[in-house]
Amino acid sequence: MDSVLALIFLTAVSASSVLRLWLAQRQIAHVIAHRGAVPAAFADRIELDAHQKAADYTVTRTRFSRTVLAVEMTFLLTLTFGGGLQSLHDFWSARLDGLPYGVALVFSVAFLSALIDLPLALYRQFVIEQSFGFNRMTLATFCADLAKQTALAIVIGTPALLAVLWLMESMGSGWWVYVWLFWCAFNLLIVFVYPTWIAPLFNHFAPLDDAALRARVEALLARCGFASSGLYVMDGSKRSSHGNAYFTGFGKAKRIVFFDTLLDRLQPTEVEAVLAHELGHFKLRHVLKRIGLLFALSLVVLALLGQLINAPWFYDGLGVHNRSTALGLLLFLLASPVFSFLMTPLLSLMSRRDEFAADRYAAENASAMSLVSALVKLYEDNAATLTPDPLHSLFYDSHPPAARRIACLQAA
Protein backbone atom coordinates (compact mmCIF):
# COMPACT_ATOMS: atom_id res chain seq x y z
CA MET A 1 0.00 0.00 0.00
CA ASP A 2 2.86 2.36 0.79
CA SER A 3 4.34 1.93 -2.70
CA VAL A 4 0.92 2.65 -4.20
CA LEU A 5 0.64 5.90 -2.22
CA ALA A 6 4.17 6.88 -3.26
CA LEU A 7 3.30 6.33 -6.92
CA ILE A 8 0.02 8.25 -6.58
CA PHE A 9 1.75 11.14 -4.80
CA LEU A 10 4.57 11.39 -7.34
CA THR A 11 2.06 11.24 -10.18
CA ALA A 12 0.02 14.02 -8.58
CA VAL A 13 3.13 16.17 -8.04
CA SER A 14 4.20 15.67 -11.65
CA ALA A 15 0.74 16.23 -13.11
CA SER A 16 0.04 19.39 -11.09
CA SER A 17 3.48 20.80 -11.91
CA VAL A 18 3.10 20.12 -15.63
CA LEU A 19 -0.39 21.64 -15.61
CA ARG A 20 0.82 24.78 -13.80
CA LEU A 21 3.76 25.18 -16.17
CA TRP A 22 1.51 24.69 -19.21
CA LEU A 23 -0.98 27.27 -17.96
CA ALA A 24 1.85 29.71 -17.24
CA GLN A 25 3.23 29.26 -20.76
CA ARG A 26 -0.21 29.84 -22.24
CA GLN A 27 -0.56 33.04 -20.22
CA ILE A 28 2.84 34.33 -21.31
CA ALA A 29 2.24 33.57 -24.98
CA HIS A 30 -1.27 35.04 -25.00
CA VAL A 31 -0.31 38.27 -23.24
CA ILE A 32 2.71 38.82 -25.52
CA ALA A 33 0.59 38.16 -28.61
CA HIS A 34 -1.86 40.90 -27.57
CA ARG A 35 0.74 43.35 -26.29
CA GLY A 36 0.77 45.48 -29.44
CA ALA A 37 -2.72 46.96 -29.23
CA VAL A 38 -5.13 48.07 -26.51
CA PRO A 39 -8.37 46.02 -26.59
CA ALA A 40 -11.16 47.89 -28.37
CA ALA A 41 -13.27 48.16 -25.21
CA PHE A 42 -10.48 50.16 -23.54
CA ALA A 43 -8.98 52.00 -26.52
CA ASP A 44 -10.41 55.37 -25.45
CA ARG A 45 -9.49 54.93 -21.78
CA ILE A 46 -6.03 53.37 -21.55
CA GLU A 47 -2.89 54.43 -23.40
CA LEU A 48 -0.79 51.91 -25.31
CA ASP A 49 2.25 52.36 -23.06
CA ALA A 50 0.13 51.57 -19.96
CA HIS A 51 -1.27 48.47 -21.69
CA GLN A 52 2.22 47.32 -22.61
CA LYS A 53 3.48 47.93 -19.08
CA ALA A 54 0.68 45.71 -17.76
CA ALA A 55 1.60 43.03 -20.31
CA ASP A 56 5.28 43.13 -19.35
CA TYR A 57 4.43 43.08 -15.63
CA THR A 58 2.16 40.06 -16.09
CA VAL A 59 4.73 38.18 -18.17
CA THR A 60 7.51 38.90 -15.66
CA ARG A 61 5.44 37.74 -12.70
CA THR A 62 4.27 34.62 -14.55
CA ARG A 63 7.82 33.68 -15.51
CA PHE A 64 8.88 34.16 -11.90
CA SER A 65 6.02 31.89 -10.77
CA ARG A 66 7.73 29.04 -12.63
CA THR A 67 10.84 29.53 -10.51
CA VAL A 68 8.71 29.60 -7.37
CA LEU A 69 7.04 26.37 -8.46
CA ALA A 70 10.39 24.65 -8.99
CA VAL A 71 11.57 25.73 -5.52
CA GLU A 72 8.32 24.61 -3.86
CA MET A 73 8.33 21.18 -5.49
CA THR A 74 12.01 20.64 -4.72
CA PHE A 75 11.41 21.52 -1.06
CA LEU A 76 8.38 19.22 -0.90
CA LEU A 77 10.21 16.23 -2.38
CA THR A 78 13.26 16.91 -0.21
CA LEU A 79 11.14 16.79 2.94
CA THR A 80 9.33 13.62 1.91
CA PHE A 81 11.24 11.20 -0.30
CA GLY A 82 14.52 13.05 0.26
CA GLY A 83 14.42 12.18 3.96
CA GLY A 84 14.29 15.76 5.23
CA LEU A 85 11.32 15.25 7.52
CA GLN A 86 12.74 11.96 8.76
CA SER A 87 16.04 13.70 9.63
CA LEU A 88 14.24 16.44 11.52
CA HIS A 89 12.29 13.81 13.44
CA ASP A 90 15.50 11.95 14.32
CA PHE A 91 17.13 15.17 15.53
CA TRP A 92 14.28 16.38 17.75
CA SER A 93 13.11 12.98 19.04
CA ALA A 94 16.62 12.41 20.46
CA ARG A 95 16.33 15.65 22.46
CA LEU A 96 12.66 16.20 23.22
CA ASP A 97 9.46 14.23 23.62
CA GLY A 98 5.76 14.88 23.94
CA LEU A 99 4.33 18.25 23.00
CA PRO A 100 7.71 20.10 23.00
CA TYR A 101 8.97 17.63 20.38
CA GLY A 102 5.90 18.25 18.22
CA VAL A 103 6.19 22.03 18.44
CA ALA A 104 9.91 21.93 17.63
CA LEU A 105 9.31 19.66 14.62
CA VAL A 106 6.52 21.80 13.15
CA PHE A 107 8.39 25.06 13.75
CA SER A 108 11.53 23.60 12.15
CA VAL A 109 9.65 22.92 8.92
CA ALA A 110 8.03 26.37 9.08
CA PHE A 111 11.44 27.98 9.63
CA LEU A 112 13.01 26.14 6.69
CA SER A 113 10.08 27.08 4.47
CA ALA A 114 10.38 30.75 5.45
CA LEU A 115 14.15 30.65 4.93
CA ILE A 116 13.74 29.27 1.41
CA ASP A 117 11.00 31.80 0.62
CA LEU A 118 13.05 34.78 1.83
CA PRO A 119 15.20 35.31 -1.31
CA LEU A 120 12.10 34.81 -3.46
CA ALA A 121 10.23 37.47 -1.48
CA LEU A 122 13.19 39.85 -1.71
CA TYR A 123 13.42 39.38 -5.47
CA ARG A 124 9.67 39.82 -5.88
CA GLN A 125 9.63 43.06 -3.88
CA PHE A 126 12.94 44.73 -4.74
CA VAL A 127 13.43 43.54 -8.31
CA ILE A 128 10.05 42.89 -9.93
CA GLU A 129 7.93 45.43 -8.04
CA GLN A 130 10.80 47.93 -8.06
CA SER A 131 11.43 47.68 -11.80
CA PHE A 132 7.77 48.43 -12.58
CA GLY A 133 7.58 51.37 -10.19
CA PHE A 134 5.32 49.76 -7.58
CA ASN A 135 7.72 49.24 -4.68
CA ARG A 136 7.89 51.89 -1.99
CA MET A 137 9.19 49.60 0.72
CA THR A 138 12.67 50.05 2.11
CA LEU A 139 14.86 47.17 3.21
CA ALA A 140 14.45 48.40 6.80
CA THR A 141 10.66 48.18 6.50
CA PHE A 142 10.92 44.72 4.94
CA CYS A 143 13.08 43.51 7.84
CA ALA A 144 10.79 45.12 10.41
CA ASP A 145 7.76 43.43 8.85
CA LEU A 146 9.59 40.09 8.84
CA ALA A 147 10.51 40.49 12.52
CA LYS A 148 6.91 41.34 13.46
CA GLN A 149 5.52 38.44 11.45
CA THR A 150 7.96 36.05 13.11
CA ALA A 151 7.09 37.34 16.57
CA LEU A 152 3.37 37.01 15.86
CA ALA A 153 3.86 33.48 14.54
CA ILE A 154 5.60 32.51 17.76
CA VAL A 155 3.29 34.33 20.17
CA ILE A 156 0.05 33.23 18.49
CA GLY A 157 1.18 30.05 16.77
CA THR A 158 2.81 28.33 19.73
CA PRO A 159 -0.26 28.11 22.01
CA ALA A 160 -2.48 27.27 19.02
CA LEU A 161 -0.17 24.46 17.93
CA LEU A 162 0.12 23.15 21.49
CA ALA A 163 -3.66 23.06 21.74
CA VAL A 164 -4.03 21.20 18.44
CA LEU A 165 -1.37 18.61 19.28
CA TRP A 166 -2.79 18.11 22.77
CA LEU A 167 -6.30 17.57 21.41
CA MET A 168 -4.98 15.13 18.80
CA GLU A 169 -3.23 13.07 21.45
CA SER A 170 -5.82 13.29 24.25
CA MET A 171 -9.28 13.05 22.70
CA GLY A 172 -9.26 9.53 21.34
CA SER A 173 -10.33 8.54 17.85
CA GLY A 174 -12.72 11.50 17.60
CA TRP A 175 -9.97 14.06 18.18
CA TRP A 176 -10.58 15.67 14.79
CA VAL A 177 -13.99 16.98 15.89
CA TYR A 178 -12.42 18.78 18.87
CA VAL A 179 -9.60 20.13 16.71
CA TRP A 180 -12.17 21.38 14.19
CA LEU A 181 -14.15 23.20 16.91
CA PHE A 182 -10.95 24.77 18.23
CA TRP A 183 -9.83 25.74 14.73
CA CYS A 184 -13.15 27.44 13.96
CA ALA A 185 -13.08 29.37 17.24
CA PHE A 186 -9.44 30.35 16.72
CA ASN A 187 -10.11 31.71 13.23
CA LEU A 188 -13.11 33.72 14.39
CA LEU A 189 -11.04 35.14 17.23
CA ILE A 190 -8.35 36.27 14.77
CA VAL A 191 -11.00 37.95 12.61
CA PHE A 192 -12.20 39.91 15.64
CA VAL A 193 -8.79 40.96 16.97
CA TYR A 194 -7.06 41.60 13.62
CA PRO A 195 -8.41 45.14 12.96
CA THR A 196 -7.64 46.44 16.45
CA TRP A 197 -4.53 44.58 17.55
CA ILE A 198 -2.69 43.07 14.58
CA ALA A 199 -3.15 45.36 11.56
CA PRO A 200 -1.90 48.49 13.44
CA LEU A 201 1.43 46.70 14.01
CA PHE A 202 2.13 47.01 10.28
CA ASN A 203 0.26 50.11 9.12
CA HIS A 204 -0.99 53.44 10.43
CA PHE A 205 -4.77 53.90 10.37
CA ALA A 206 -6.15 57.43 10.54
CA PRO A 207 -9.83 58.48 10.52
CA LEU A 208 -11.07 59.66 7.14
CA ASP A 209 -10.83 63.45 7.40
CA ASP A 210 -12.25 64.46 4.01
CA ALA A 211 -15.60 65.86 5.15
CA ALA A 212 -17.29 65.72 1.73
CA LEU A 213 -16.14 62.17 1.04
CA ARG A 214 -17.07 61.09 4.57
CA ALA A 215 -20.61 62.48 4.09
CA ARG A 216 -20.95 60.65 0.77
CA VAL A 217 -19.71 57.39 2.27
CA GLU A 218 -21.96 57.69 5.33
CA ALA A 219 -24.97 58.30 3.06
CA LEU A 220 -24.07 55.12 1.15
CA LEU A 221 -23.77 53.17 4.40
CA ALA A 222 -27.18 54.43 5.49
CA ARG A 223 -28.74 53.38 2.17
CA CYS A 224 -27.20 49.94 2.47
CA GLY A 225 -28.02 49.51 6.16
CA PHE A 226 -24.38 48.96 7.06
CA ALA A 227 -23.16 49.87 10.55
CA SER A 228 -19.43 50.51 10.87
CA SER A 229 -17.18 51.33 13.81
CA GLY A 230 -15.27 53.84 11.68
CA LEU A 231 -13.86 54.94 8.34
CA TYR A 232 -10.08 54.77 8.15
CA VAL A 233 -7.29 55.61 5.74
CA MET A 234 -4.30 53.22 5.71
CA ASP A 235 -0.81 54.25 4.68
CA GLY A 236 -0.56 51.66 1.90
CA SER A 237 1.87 53.96 0.09
CA LYS A 238 4.43 53.00 2.74
CA ARG A 239 4.98 49.73 0.91
CA SER A 240 3.41 49.91 -2.55
CA SER A 241 1.69 52.17 -5.05
CA HIS A 242 -1.07 49.58 -5.55
CA GLY A 243 -4.48 50.79 -4.37
CA ASN A 244 -7.34 49.00 -2.65
CA ALA A 245 -10.20 49.27 -0.18
CA TYR A 246 -11.70 46.70 2.17
CA PHE A 247 -13.79 46.19 5.26
CA THR A 248 -12.79 43.94 8.10
CA GLY A 249 -14.14 42.57 11.34
CA PHE A 250 -17.61 41.51 12.46
CA GLY A 251 -20.34 42.97 14.60
CA LYS A 252 -19.46 46.25 16.28
CA ALA A 253 -15.81 45.81 15.27
CA LYS A 254 -16.51 46.27 11.54
CA ARG A 255 -14.41 49.00 10.00
CA ILE A 256 -13.93 50.31 6.47
CA VAL A 257 -10.38 50.91 5.29
CA PHE A 258 -9.21 52.88 2.25
CA PHE A 259 -5.62 52.77 0.99
CA ASP A 260 -4.25 56.30 0.74
CA THR A 261 -3.12 55.43 -2.79
CA LEU A 262 -6.74 54.70 -3.72
CA LEU A 263 -8.03 58.04 -2.40
CA ASP A 264 -5.25 59.90 -4.22
CA ARG A 265 -6.29 58.38 -7.53
CA LEU A 266 -10.11 58.15 -7.50
CA GLN A 267 -12.84 60.78 -7.53
CA PRO A 268 -15.42 60.76 -4.68
CA THR A 269 -18.10 59.14 -6.86
CA GLU A 270 -15.61 56.44 -7.84
CA VAL A 271 -14.62 55.81 -4.22
CA GLU A 272 -18.31 55.49 -3.39
CA ALA A 273 -18.81 52.96 -6.17
CA VAL A 274 -15.79 50.87 -5.12
CA LEU A 275 -17.04 50.84 -1.53
CA ALA A 276 -20.54 49.88 -2.72
CA HIS A 277 -18.96 46.85 -4.41
CA GLU A 278 -17.21 45.85 -1.17
CA LEU A 279 -20.43 46.35 0.78
CA GLY A 280 -22.12 44.10 -1.75
CA HIS A 281 -19.94 41.23 -0.62
CA PHE A 282 -21.10 41.81 2.94
CA LYS A 283 -24.78 42.38 2.26
CA LEU A 284 -24.98 39.35 -0.05
CA ARG A 285 -23.34 37.25 2.68
CA HIS A 286 -20.35 36.32 0.53
CA VAL A 287 -18.02 36.65 3.50
CA LEU A 288 -20.14 34.41 5.72
CA LYS A 289 -20.56 31.89 2.91
CA ARG A 290 -16.80 31.73 2.35
CA ILE A 291 -16.17 31.28 6.06
CA GLY A 292 -18.82 28.56 6.14
CA LEU A 293 -17.22 26.84 3.14
CA LEU A 294 -13.79 27.08 4.77
CA PHE A 295 -15.10 25.51 7.97
CA ALA A 296 -16.93 22.76 6.08
CA LEU A 297 -13.87 21.89 4.02
CA SER A 298 -11.66 21.91 7.12
CA LEU A 299 -14.03 19.45 8.80
CA VAL A 300 -13.76 17.08 5.83
CA VAL A 301 -9.98 17.47 5.75
CA LEU A 302 -9.60 16.79 9.47
CA ALA A 303 -11.88 13.77 9.24
CA LEU A 304 -9.68 12.41 6.46
CA LEU A 305 -6.56 13.04 8.54
CA GLY A 306 -8.25 11.17 11.40
CA GLN A 307 -8.44 8.11 9.16
CA LEU A 308 -4.86 8.36 7.91
CA ILE A 309 -2.83 9.34 10.94
CA ASN A 310 -2.61 5.82 12.39
CA ALA A 311 -2.02 4.07 9.06
CA PRO A 312 1.62 2.89 8.67
CA TRP A 313 1.38 3.02 4.86
CA PHE A 314 0.58 6.74 5.04
CA TYR A 315 3.99 7.45 6.60
CA ASP A 316 6.00 4.89 4.63
CA GLY A 317 4.39 5.96 1.37
CA LEU A 318 5.61 9.54 1.91
CA GLY A 319 9.16 8.71 2.91
CA VAL A 320 8.90 8.69 6.73
CA HIS A 321 9.54 5.54 8.75
CA ASN A 322 8.49 6.66 12.22
CA ARG A 323 5.09 7.55 13.65
CA SER A 324 4.03 10.58 15.69
CA THR A 325 1.15 13.01 15.85
CA ALA A 326 3.29 15.91 14.66
CA LEU A 327 4.75 13.85 11.80
CA GLY A 328 1.30 12.81 10.64
CA LEU A 329 0.03 16.38 10.78
CA LEU A 330 3.03 17.69 8.84
CA LEU A 331 2.86 14.99 6.18
CA PHE A 332 -0.81 15.70 5.63
CA LEU A 333 -0.26 19.47 5.42
CA LEU A 334 2.56 18.93 2.91
CA ALA A 335 0.74 16.42 0.71
CA SER A 336 -2.83 17.75 0.66
CA PRO A 337 -2.17 20.89 -1.48
CA VAL A 338 -0.90 18.64 -4.27
CA PHE A 339 -4.24 16.83 -4.43
CA SER A 340 -6.46 19.85 -3.69
CA PHE A 341 -4.89 21.89 -6.50
CA LEU A 342 -7.52 20.64 -8.95
CA MET A 343 -10.17 22.42 -6.86
CA THR A 344 -8.65 25.77 -7.87
CA PRO A 345 -10.88 26.39 -10.91
CA LEU A 346 -14.02 25.61 -8.90
CA LEU A 347 -13.05 28.05 -6.15
CA SER A 348 -12.11 30.64 -8.78
CA LEU A 349 -15.50 30.19 -10.45
CA MET A 350 -17.30 30.73 -7.15
CA SER A 351 -15.26 33.86 -6.49
CA ARG A 352 -15.96 35.31 -9.95
CA ARG A 353 -19.67 34.69 -9.46
CA ASP A 354 -19.55 36.67 -6.22
CA GLU A 355 -17.67 39.50 -7.92
CA PHE A 356 -20.38 39.82 -10.58
CA ALA A 357 -23.04 39.86 -7.85
CA ALA A 358 -21.17 42.55 -5.90
CA ASP A 359 -20.88 44.61 -9.10
CA ARG A 360 -24.64 44.40 -9.58
CA TYR A 361 -25.18 45.49 -5.99
CA ALA A 362 -22.85 48.45 -6.54
CA ALA A 363 -24.74 49.43 -9.70
CA GLU A 364 -28.00 49.43 -7.73
CA ASN A 365 -26.69 51.50 -4.82
CA ALA A 366 -24.14 53.78 -6.49
CA SER A 367 -23.13 54.64 -10.04
CA ALA A 368 -22.32 51.79 -12.42
CA MET A 369 -20.34 54.11 -14.68
CA SER A 370 -18.37 55.47 -11.72
CA LEU A 371 -17.42 51.89 -10.86
CA VAL A 372 -16.39 51.36 -14.49
CA SER A 373 -14.13 54.42 -14.45
CA ALA A 374 -12.70 53.40 -11.06
CA LEU A 375 -11.95 49.87 -12.28
CA VAL A 376 -10.24 51.18 -15.41
CA LYS A 377 -8.00 53.41 -13.26
CA LEU A 378 -7.24 50.50 -10.93
CA TYR A 379 -6.46 48.19 -13.85
CA GLU A 380 -4.06 50.80 -15.15
CA ASP A 381 -2.50 51.71 -11.79
CA ASN A 382 -2.04 48.08 -10.75
CA ALA A 383 -0.83 47.02 -14.22
CA ALA A 384 -3.48 44.31 -14.45
CA THR A 385 -3.46 42.77 -17.90
CA LEU A 386 -6.56 43.34 -20.01
CA THR A 387 -5.79 40.33 -22.20
CA PRO A 388 -5.28 37.25 -20.00
CA ASP A 389 -5.25 33.80 -21.53
CA PRO A 390 -8.87 32.56 -21.24
CA LEU A 391 -7.91 29.15 -19.87
CA HIS A 392 -5.39 30.55 -17.41
CA SER A 393 -7.99 33.07 -16.28
CA LEU A 394 -10.65 30.38 -15.95
CA PHE A 395 -8.35 28.33 -13.77
CA TYR A 396 -6.82 30.98 -11.51
CA ASP A 397 -8.56 34.36 -11.61
CA SER A 398 -10.72 35.25 -8.62
CA HIS A 399 -12.08 38.29 -10.53
CA PRO A 400 -13.80 38.25 -13.94
CA PRO A 401 -11.80 39.32 -17.01
CA ALA A 402 -11.75 43.10 -17.34
CA ALA A 403 -13.62 43.31 -20.66
CA ARG A 404 -16.49 41.09 -19.53
CA ARG A 405 -16.79 42.84 -16.18
CA ILE A 406 -16.92 46.28 -17.78
CA ALA A 407 -19.46 45.12 -20.35
CA CYS A 408 -21.77 43.82 -17.63
CA LEU A 409 -21.53 47.09 -15.71
CA GLN A 410 -22.22 49.14 -18.81
CA ALA A 411 -25.27 47.02 -19.51
CA ALA A 412 -26.45 47.74 -15.95
Distance CA 166, CA 171 (A): 8
What letter does residue 35 receive in the DSSP assignment?
Answer: T
Hey, how many other C-beta atoms are within 10 angstroms of the C-beta on 401?
A: 17
Domain spans in the chain, listed from the N-terminal domain onward: 1-135+321-412
What local confidence, expressed as pLDDT, does residue 252 receive?
Answer: 62
What letter does residue 135 receive in the DSSP assignment?
Answer: B
What local confidence, expressed as pLDDT, does residue 250 receive?
Answer: 67
Q: Are 323 and 317 in contact (CB under 8 A)?
A: no
Residues tagged active-site: 278, 359
Residue closest to 239 by CA, chosen among 139, 361, 312: 139
What local confidence, expressed as pLDDT, does residue 45 receive?
Answer: 87
At 258, phi and psi to the nearest 5? Answer: -110, 135
Distance CA 103, CA 96 (A): 10
Give me the amino acid identity at 167. L
Full pLDDT tens readout for the chain, 412 residues: 568 999 999 999 999 999 999 999 999 999 999 999 999 888 888 999 999 999 999 999 999 999 999 999 999 999 999 999 999 999 999 999 999 999 999 999 999 999 999 999 999 999 999 999 999 999 999 999 999 999 999 999 999 999 999 999 999 999 999 999 999 999 999 988 888 888 899 989 888 888 888 889 888 888 888 777 778 899 988 888 887 777 776 666 677 888 888 888 889 999 999 999 988 998 899 988 999 999 999 999 999 999 999 999 999 999 999 999 999 999 999 999 999 998 999 999 999 999 999 999 999 999 999 999 999 998 988 889 999 999 999 999 999 998 899 989 888 7
What local confidence, expressed as pLDDT, does residue 381 receive?
Answer: 86
Distance CA 103, CA 243 (A): 38
Distance CA 354, CA 229 (A): 25
